[in-house]
Chain A
């Protein structure tokens, strides 16, 4: 290898390492439950990449594909996204005045932090000179929307006010292939959650009458949980099989049922300046430590890829992927209050656990995409469309994640300059409007001090207007979300 050829490679590697050093902090700013895929090439195909999986992003999609890279590759990229999420809560009555309950309409609220400028992927893949092998190390924030923020006085307030979920996956992968017939691979994934913040408004009233409002009151408290979980282990297994020169199949799966369990603290402050402060304690001593649990899904991906050759060159390919994700593992976001006692207004009240109802369901996604080599070794165009079934049934819709069905398309391409490939993609993703009636809404205002016991039918302890329900519904309304996502990767092959 000549000096002239080695120099840009070293420069690129140095630049990549410098960026890696910088994004080790920047990466903390991104993550969240997943939307889309990482890697500009995969994103440009709308995620139809399970069978192809021929860059570093394979560590998270199908690690078996690493065996097909056949060289050393450094991939550095980032997603830039604009994530709009809207919610208009259904009008309701404020029963604090039972004779003339006020009719309350809510203004539309929008995510106040729609821009996400850092959502990186950095990784290196090499075969160490072993022809049928591939190895990779990558660090990336899983594709998603890290932060959402809404007005504290907005109609969504009893679902969520702010969320900041920063996840970083560190992946160590290996793959092997048998000739060009089939290959297998595995990624060991260390999921670090440096920050998981979640806040919402709770109705801390112990009084029946004050629990009768789904609108707001003097007992409203801003409960914010701040936590981290630096080590959760997961693994991804994958394989591919070349049925014929023109047909390739891919299969992969995230196989360990993992749960993020954060060590967190909770702060509870009055939502209004006139409210009484809250002091938390346990066993007579000040305390505010709590636990927050978030289950992660197992996933399975299957891809079938048709490759059209002209001569010995690939002219284009079309791949269709099916993705199954077991989000049904997520029943609630459970806050374990660990027997905290809240003191406010001269009263000690047990601070009950908070369950943000999710009752998510297993999702199915269909992704169709492909590449077209416009100018061989110079310019590649790609595109794709996808559909993902809703993760939440409408009664459990929430503002914290876009949990309805997702539709999207992507366009992208690659420009090859010597051994450097610049890949880019634009993706539009939308969640069509989801409407939830208050009758069917199953996410309720959190009332941790309520004296109304399950099944919530005791008129002496429960508000007569919400008998049979733990509190006023909080998530009835209409939801709409969309994202513009730009991905840009630099890929250098040695």
Chain B
């Protein structure tokens, strides 16, 4: 009696071999769709980015599963266009770490999946001088007693040090998973993602030679950098979905015989053509609104935000302690809120308490009925985040809640507050070297500390490394 299944199979195979006239063994196996020539290599410029390449005999779509164990628990999104030569960039890798990966393919016409064997590569260590970060999460219960959703965003920001600036992306765990070092004598104030989300853009301001200022574009996959010359570049810029840049630039005019430098919003399209959309001279008069800055930094525009769906810009004017909503199409000031005679909205106390006007605003985020401001000097305990409800019919702004830094921070640079999904607020305390995430009740949910001491420039928060969903306005 035969017992061993393996033996049975061999016997079956023997039968197959002996019965060629009867058709041999039944099989309709197709040519393999499994990926071949599979290889991976970390980027030479960004050690936490790697590119995996593979080929398939037929046109397939595929993706890469990867992780620090052979169970390869993470995945990069699947390709959308079928081809035989494939390349996929892996993001969010830890430095100096062995990663395992496997390529998965899908032959759509034949509804057939293929997979490579599990392979490995090693990422490189972070370069010297990059910041060290520490993230900490805190459990916060909702009204039903259940834990609120944890921090899920990536934060892109400049980490400004004495010797160099690192433009980096931190993951929710506080790991620096993407970086680019700017070690020229440039002031970096803002980092954003490009319109197609394939590059990181950052401002590189030359205070010594303002005409040499530029916006630097670094490919996320580490394949290269390019520069967009923006003479007189100010502290902030925004990016339209079509890639058009909106930048702050100095606008110097002679007013009543004196030279006064205000600010303007200039759009730069993909071809490099510039168009001035707005100037602070359009809505403010240096005589009536002198502010508290010098004439060479009259309005002191500190931050620019774009609401592309509504077609408006929000402009923070530090020295006028004002925020303006600018209509992109007409260049008109829709409203002005702040401590200035040109204001069209007034601060009004609410039923729940008094409203404290902001002073020397940093980063802002506006919407049709709300304004979030990093208020550098309006609070009594240093910088704070203030949220105002706007009633344009009544021409009022009422403070709904505020959040003070604890311990106190006096923000003198690019502090910023951003509202994330779920109404939670991410506050970047800039020279406090810290970012806090609080809920609407002010409970701290998460914080990121730059333990190496660099201060933070303006940040961008987004979900999902591969299918970037930007948070807040741009």
Q: How far is the CA of A404 from the CA of B16 in the complex (A)?
A: 12
B19–A100 touching, CB < 8 Å: no
| Chain B residues, Cβ within 8 Å of A465 | 106, 108, 111
Q: List 23 A-B contacts (CB under 8 A).
A: A93-B113, A98-B78, A100-B75, A101-B63, A101-B104, A394-B26, A394-B27, A404-B26, A432-B26, A433-B25, A433-B26, A434-B27, A435-B28, A436-B28, A437-B29, A437-B110, A438-B110, A439-B107, A439-B109, A465-B106, A466-B111, A480-B12, A484-B1
A433 to B15, CA, bound (A): 11
Rounded to whole angstroms, the CA-CA distance of A92 and B112 in the bound complex is 7
A263 to nearest B CB, angstroms? 36
Please name the residue on chain A nearest to B76 by beta carbon. Answer: A100
Is B5's CB within 8 Å of the partner chain A?
Answer: yes
The interface residues of chain B lying within 8 Å CB-to-CB of A433 are 9, 12-13, 25-27
B residues less than 8 Å from A101 (CB atoms): 63, 78, 104, 106
Query: Is the CB–CB distance between A439 and B30 below 8 Å?
Result: yes
Q: How many residues of A contact B (CB 8 A)?
A: 40
Task: Report which B residues bind A (CB closer than 8 A).
Answer: 1-2, 5, 8-9, 11-13, 15-16, 19, 22-23, 25-30, 63, 65, 75-78, 102, 104, 106-113, 115, 466-467
Is there an interface contact between B15 and A430, defined as CB atoms closer than 8 Å? yes
| Cβ contact of A405, chosen from B26, B75, B107, B111, cutoff 8 A | B26
Question: Most chain-A CB neighbours within 10 Å: which of B2, B8, B466?
Answer: B8
Instruction: Tell me the bound Cα distance from A93 to B13 in angstroms.
Output: 30
Known A395-B28, A426-B1; judge A92-B113 contact (CB<8 A): yes
Given contacts A99-B467, A407-B15, A473-B111, could you give 8 more A-B pairs where the C-beta distance is less than 8 Å?
A103-B102, A387-B19, A394-B27, A431-B12, A433-B12, A435-B26, A438-B113, A440-B28
Q: Which residues of A contact B12 (CB under 8 A)?
A: 407, 430-433, 480, 482
Query: A493 near B: Cβ within 8 Å?
Result: no
Most buried by B among A91, A100, A390, A395: A100
- With a cutoff of 8 Å between Cβ atoms, the chain A residues found around residue B466 in the complex are 99
Considering only residues 350-394 of chain A, those with a C-beta below 8 Å from chain B are 387, 389-390, 394
A343 at the interface (CB under 8 A from B): no
Bound form: Cα–Cα A228–B23 in Å: 38
| A472 is an interface residue with CB less than 8 A from chain B | yes
Q: Which chain B positions have C-beta within 8 A of A90?
A: 112-113
Q: How far is the CA of A99 from the CA of B75 in the complex (A)?
A: 9
Q: How far is the CA of A7 from the CA of B15 in the complex (A)?
A: 50
A84 beta carbon closer than 8 Å to chain B: yes
A469 at the interface (CB under 8 A from B): yes
CB neighbours (8 Å) of B63 from chain A are 100-101
Please report whether the interface of chain B is mostly helix, strand, loop or mixed according to DSSP.
mixed
A99 touches B8 (CB 8 A): no
If the complex has contacts A100-B75, A387-B19, A484-B2, are A430 and B8 also in contact, measured as CB distance less than 8 A? yes
Q: How far is the CA of A484 from the CA of B7 in the complex (A)?
A: 13
Chain A residues with CB under 8 Å of B8's CB are 84, 430, 480, 482
A396 CB, nearest partner CB in chain B, Å: 11
Once the chains bind, are B2 and A91 in contact (CB under 8 Å)?
Answer: no
A439 to B113, CA, bound (A): 10
**Inter-subunit contact A405/B110 (CB<8 Å):** no
Complex interface residues of chain A between 456 and 489 (CB less than 8 A to chain B): 465-466, 469, 472-473, 480, 482, 484
Compute the total of residue contacts between A and B using a CB distance below 8 Å: 106
A428 on the interface (CB 8 Å rule)?
Answer: yes
- Which residues of chain B are within 8 angstroms of A439 by Cβ–Cβ distance? 30, 107, 109-112
| Residues of chain A with a CB closer than 8 A to B75's CB | 100
Taking a contact as CB atoms under 8 Å apart, the answer to whether B106 and A93 are in contact is yes
Q: Is B25 a contact of A99 with CB atoms below 8 Å?
A: no
Kindly list chain B residues whose C-beta atoms are within 8 Å of the C-beta of A405.
Answer: 22-23, 26
The 6 A-B pairs at the shortest CB distance, nearest first, are namely: A439-B110, A100-B75, A432-B12, A435-B27, A99-B77, A434-B26
For residue A385, give the distance in angstroms from its CB to the closest CB of chain B.
Answer: 10
Across the interface, name the chain B residue whose C-beta is closest to A103: B104
Minimum CB–CB distance from B134 to chain A (whole Å) comes to 30
Complex alpha-carbon distance, A426 and B25, angstroms: 25
Q: Which residues of B contact A428 (CB under 8 A)?
A: 2
Chain B residues whose CB sits within 8 angstroms of the CB of A100 once the complex forms: 63, 65, 75-78
A3 to chain B, nearest CB (A): 43
How far, in Å, is B239 (CB) from chain A's closest CB?
24
Residues on B with C-beta less than 8 A from A92 are 111, 113
- A395 to B110, alpha carbons, bound, how many Å? 13
Alpha-carbon distance between A465 and B77 when the two chains are bound, in angstroms: 15
- Chain A residues, CB < 8 A from B1: 426, 484
Q: Is the Cβ of B28 less than 8 Å from the Cβ of A103? A: no
A469–B111 CA distance with the chains assembled, in angstroms: 10
Give the docked Cα–Cα distance between A98 and B106 (Å): 12
Nearest-CB distance from B178 to chain A (Å)?
A: 20
Closest partner residue, chain B, to A98 (CB atom): B78
Contacts of B77 in A (CB 8 A): 99-100
Cβ 8 A contact of A103, one of B16, B26, B65 = B65
Q: Give the distance in Å from the alpha carbon of A436 to the alpha carbon of B28 in the complex.
A: 6
Kindly supply a per-residue 1/0 record for chain A positions 386-422, scoring 1 wherever the CB is within 8 Å of any chain B CB and 0 otherwise.
0101100011000000001101000000000000000
Q: Of all chain A residues, which has the CB nearest B63?
A: A100
Residues of B within 8 A of A430 (CB): 8, 11-12, 15
**CB within 8 Å of B: which A78-110 residues:** 84, 86, 90-93, 98-101, 103
Known: A100-B75, A433-B9. A91 touches B115 (CB 8 A): yes
Chain B hits for A98, CB < 8 A:
78
Q: How far is the CA of A401 from the CA of B392 in the complex (A)?
A: 75
**A437-B107 Cα distance, complex, nearest whole Å:** 12
From residue A179, how far is it (CB to closest CB) to chain B in Å?
40
Give Cα distance in the complex from A431 to B11, angstroms. 10
B15 cross-chain contacts in A, Cβ below 8 A:
407, 430, 432
Nearest chain A CB to B65 CB, angstrom units: 7
Nearest chain B CB to A216's CB is how many angstroms away?
15
Question: Which residues does chain A contribute within 8 Å of B107, judged by CB atoms?
Answer: 439
Closest to A466 in B: B111
Q: Once the chains bind, are B467 and A437 in contact (CB under 8 Å)? A: no
